[in-house]
Amino acid sequence: MKCRCPAVSNDVFDPIRLTRALLVWYRANRREMPWRGHPDPYAVWVSEIMLQQTQVDTVRPFFARFMARFPTIASLAAAPDDALLKPWEGLGYYTRARNLRKAAQVLLDRHAGKLPPTLAELTALPGIGPYTAAAISSICFGVCEPVVDGNVARVFSRFWLLADDFRKPGPRAALADRLRPAITGCGDPGDFNQAIMELGALLCSPRSPACEACPLRPACAAAETGRQCDFPVRPAAAAIPERHAVGFIFRDARNRVLLVRRDSAGLLGGLWELPGGEIPKTHTPAAAARLVREQTGLAPAVLRPAGAISHTFSHFRLRLSLYTATVASGRIAPSLRDRVRWSPLPSDLPLTTAARHALADAGDGRNGVKGSSKSRSAR
User: What sign does the CA torsion over 158, 160, 165, 169 have?
Assistant: negative
User: Residue 143: which of 114, 186, 110 has the closest Cα?
Assistant: 186
Q: Are residues 44 and 133 both part of a single domain?
A: yes
Per-residue pLDDT for 77 more than 90? Answer: yes
pLDDT at 378 > cutoff 60 = no
171/65 Cα distance (integer angstroms): 36
pLDDT of residue 133: 97
Residue 2 has pLDDT above 80, yes or no: no
Residues 166 and 269 reside in one and the same domain: no
What is the rounded distance in angstroms from the CA atom of residue 210 to the CA atom of residue 202? Answer: 8
Q: Is the residue at 217 inside a domain? A: yes
CATH number at residue 356: 3.90.79.10
* pLDDT, position 315: 85
* Same domain assignment for residues 106 and 197: yes
325, 350: one domain: yes
In this structure, the answer to whether residues 251 and 129 fall within a common structural domain is no
Domain boundary among 171, 196, 230: 230
Task: Classify residue 177 by burial, with Cβ atoms within 10 Å: 0-12, 13-18, 19+.
Answer: exposed
Q: Is 121 a catalytic residue?
A: no
Task: Name the domain boundary from 230, 252, 277.
Answer: 230
Pure H helices in 142-238: 150-160, 169-184, 189-202, 221-225
Flag whether 287 is in a domain: yes
Q: By C-alpha distance, which of 192, 257, 175, 222 is closest to 22? A: 192
Q: Which of 48, 89, 145, 198 is catalytic?
A: 48
Could you give the number of structural domains in the chain?
2
Whether the CB-CB separation of 92 and 85 falls below 8 Å is answered with no
Helix/strand/coil (H/E/C) assignment for every residue in 211-271: HHHCCCHHHCHHHHHCCHHHCCCCCCCCCCCEEEEEEEEEECCCCCEEEEECCCCCCCCCC
- In-domain check, residue 1: no
Question: Does residue 212 form part of some domain?
Answer: yes
**Model confidence at 366: pLDDT above 70:** no
Beta strands 340-343 and 257-261 are antiparallel
**Is the domain of 45 the same as that of 187?**
yes
CATH number at residue 148: 1.10.340.30
Which of 230, 259, 284 delimits the end of a domain? Answer: 230
- Domain containing 295 equals 242-374
In a domain, 5, yes or no: no
Do both 205 and 299 map to the same domain?
no
* Whether 176 and 254 share a structural domain: no
Query: Is the pTM value of this prediction over 0.75?
Result: yes
Number of other residues whose CB lies within 10 A of the CB of residue 42: 22
For 175-209, what is each residue's pLDDT tens digit?
Answer: 999 999 999 989 999 999 999 999 999 999 999 99
Q: Is residue 8 part of a domain?
A: no
Q: What does pLDDT average to over the chain?
A: 89
Q: Cα–Cα distances in Å, from 20 out to 35, 79, 219?
A: 24, 44, 14
Give residue-wise pLDDT tens across range 233-281. 988 878 889 999 999 999 988 889 999 999 987 778 899 999 999 999 9
Between 13 and 247, residue with greater pLDDT: 247
pLDDT at 13: 58
